[in-house]
Amino acid sequence: MSQAAEVRTGSAAGTEPDTALLSPDEVVTPDGARVTDVWSWAFSDGLATIVRQAVAEYLVARAVEADLSRPRRDTDTWDVVTPEGTTIEVMSAAHLDAYGRPRTGTVTWGRTRGGGRAEETPRSDFGAAARADLYVLCLQTATHRSQVDVVDHRQWEFYVLAREDVRHFGVAVGLRAVQDRARAVSWEQLGEAVRAATR
């Protein structure tokens, strides 16, 4: 895969060498399967946490016009960096669990790594360790399995919080606590909400 072998410098984490974006049309098997076939097979389950999180990060990056010419990496310190240099951690949650069942209790977000990756079971206190300039908490709003379309931007709500807003949060924070500090915005409104939060 020649494109994957290209090395470029610079990343959200620093100056580590980085691979180029894969071409969706690149052939991966002798019978003609392409990269896009791999992606469709592996990442079409919109209920999966890893898929939901990746889509959330992409939607945020696109909304703030971040550099999308480099691949997403789990090892990056920040999920998104705006053209102005604002660092953003993106966290995702949903009304449904990975099996398509309504969650019991409130929707929550939790931190599991330095960069703020969200999972179903948080492992550490993200409030005390908050380091990014902004946190964008993303909620996939479908309430029934048949409705889930994780790549439909209209099925998402976004909450923009400054680092100071999340300092007091513990291992996880519920939807109501988030709504006490931020209003939900649509994808179309997200870019301006991020800019307004940094003024």
pLDDT digits (tens, 9 = 90+) for 84-93: 999 999 999 9
Residue 75 DSSP code: T
Q: Across all residues in the chain, what is the average pLDDT?
A: 84
The torsion angles phi and psi of 110, rounded to 5 degrees, stand at: -145, 155
Least confident of 27-31, 130-134, 179-183: 130-134
Mean pLDDT for the stretch of residues 134-149: 96
6 pLDDT exceeds 70?
no
120 pLDDT exceeds 60?
no
**17 confidence band (pLDDT: 50, 70, 90):** low
187 pLDDT exceeds 70?
yes
9 pLDDT exceeds 60?
no
Mean pLDDT for the stretch of residues 8-17: 44
119 pLDDT exceeds 50?
no
State the pLDDT at residue 132. 92
Residue 29, token pair as written in the block: 């098997």
61 pLDDT exceeds 90?
yes
Bridge-based pairing state of the strands 172-174 and 108-110: antiparallel
Please give the residue that has the higher pLDDT: either 9 or 60: 60
Q: What span, in angstroms and rounded, lies between the C-alpha atoms of 151 and 55?
A: 7
Chain position carrying tokens 């807003």: 165
Domains annotated on the chain, with CATH: 1-42 (no CATH), 45-197 (3.40.210)
123 pLDDT exceeds 90?
no
The torsion angles phi and psi of 152, rounded to 5 degrees, stand at: -90, 110
Q: What span, in angstroms and rounded, lies between the C-alpha atoms of 74 and 115?
A: 9
Least confident of 83-92, 97-106, 167-176: 167-176
The torsion angles phi and psi of 51, rounded to 5 degrees, stand at: -70, -50
